[in-house]
Amino acid sequence: MLLGADDWSAIGLTFKLASLTTALLLLLGTPLAWWLSRSQHWFSKVIGAVVTLPLVLPPTVLGFYLLVALGSQGPLGQLTIALGWGLLPFSFSGLLLASMLYSLPFTIQPLQQAFQAIGNTPLEAAATLRASPLDTFFTVLLPLAKPGLITATVMTFAHTVGEFGVVLMIGGNIPGKTRVISVQLYDHVEALEYTQAHWLAGGMLLFSFTVLLGLQLLQKRGVAR
């Protein structure tokens, strides 16, 4: 194996970041997607657009604004200092926050679409069967939204693994703390270490392909059922 210790550290860090980002986004994104799928209020359209922004914005733009906001002069930076968390840029927490913002649309969109497709009738049927709204959410809505939940999980995870621009802007390149696979790969190429670059790049390609293939197969099964 031609991967060094710092390569493995980058791989470990990447998967830790992707897992945490996915878990937190599912937790926070599910209620948000639910609200977006049901609200008729104009403000929900604004939020819907903001949530989708990372999809079209260059990651560097997002990273730049985050850096400014989270910096010592920025409003969020002042807040994190006041809370005793210190400054977030160039730390793992900062990277996690940036990843969550960057991958947000990949969680929200499949969930929102799933919730919209389910419609109100199964929820009304549950209400006529004595189920409270919270009960209905867990026993009817989430099971029916399972294909959407799977897509959201897979896409959020895979997308976080593949991010680069935001990481570079907000996380920098600190080994073991913020240096993820994509940055490590960039370093290898800069240093003309093509063998290691091949291993990392090939691994990423294989991983992404496998994940997307798996998703296709899962969705096909979901349709057939």
Partner 1 sequence: MSLHAYMQLKRGPFCLDAEFALPDSGITVLFGPSGSGKTTLMRCLAGLELEAKGQIQQGDTFWQDSSRGIFLPCWQRGIGMVFQDAQLFPHLNVRGNLAFGYQRTSPAARKIDLQHTIDLLDLAPLLAHRPPQLSGGERQRVAIARALLTSPSLLLLDEPLAALDQARKQEILPYLAQLQQQLDLPMVYITHAMDEVSRLADYLVLLNEGKVQAQGELSATLSRPDLPSIFDEELSVILETERLSTDTHYKLARLGFRGGELLVPDVPQQGTKRRVRILARDVSLACSAHSDISILNRLPATVRSISPASHPAHVLISLDIGGSLLLARITHYSLDKLGIAPGSQVWAQIKSVALL
Residues engaged in binding partner 1 (CB under 8 A): 121-122, 124-133, 135, 139-140, 143-144, 146
Q: Which is nearer to partner 1, 84 or 225 (CB)?
A: 225
The whole-angstrom distance between residue 53's C-alpha and the CA centroid of its chain comes to: 14
Q: Which is nearer to partner 1, 143 or 202 (CB)?
A: 143
* Cβ 121 to partner 1 shortest distance, Å: 5
* Cβ 144 to partner 1 shortest distance, Å: 6
Q: Which is nearer to partner 1, 41 or 146 (CB)?
A: 146
Nearest CA to 111 among 55, 28, 224?
A: 28
Q: Are 5 and 11 in contact (CB under 8 A)?
A: no
* Cβ 136 to partner 1 shortest distance, Å: 8
Query: What is the C-alpha separation between 157 and 17, in angstroms, rounded?
Result: 9
DSSP string of 138-200? IIIIHHHTHHHHHHHHHHHHHHHHT--HHIIIII---TTTT--HHHHHHHHHHTT-HHHHHHH
C-alpha torsion 71→72→73→75, nearest 10: 70
Q: In whole angstroms, how far apart are CA 118 and each of 26, 57, 112, 124, 140?
A: 18, 30, 10, 11, 10
* Cβ 138 to partner 1 shortest distance, Å: 12
Q: Which is nearer to partner 1, 129 or 213 (CB)?
A: 129
Query: What is the C-alpha separation between 158 and 174, in angstroms, rounded?
Result: 22
Q: Which is nearer to partner 1, 88 or 140 (CB)?
A: 140
* Cβ 33 to partner 1 shortest distance, Å: 19
Matching residue, tokens 């980058």: 10
* Cβ 150 to partner 1 shortest distance, Å: 14
The whole-angstrom distance between residue 112's C-alpha and the CA centroid of its chain comes to: 15
* Cβ 134 to partner 1 shortest distance, Å: 11
Q: Which is nearer to partner 1, 73 or 121 (CB)?
A: 121
Q: Which is nearer to partner 1, 50 or 125 (CB)?
A: 125
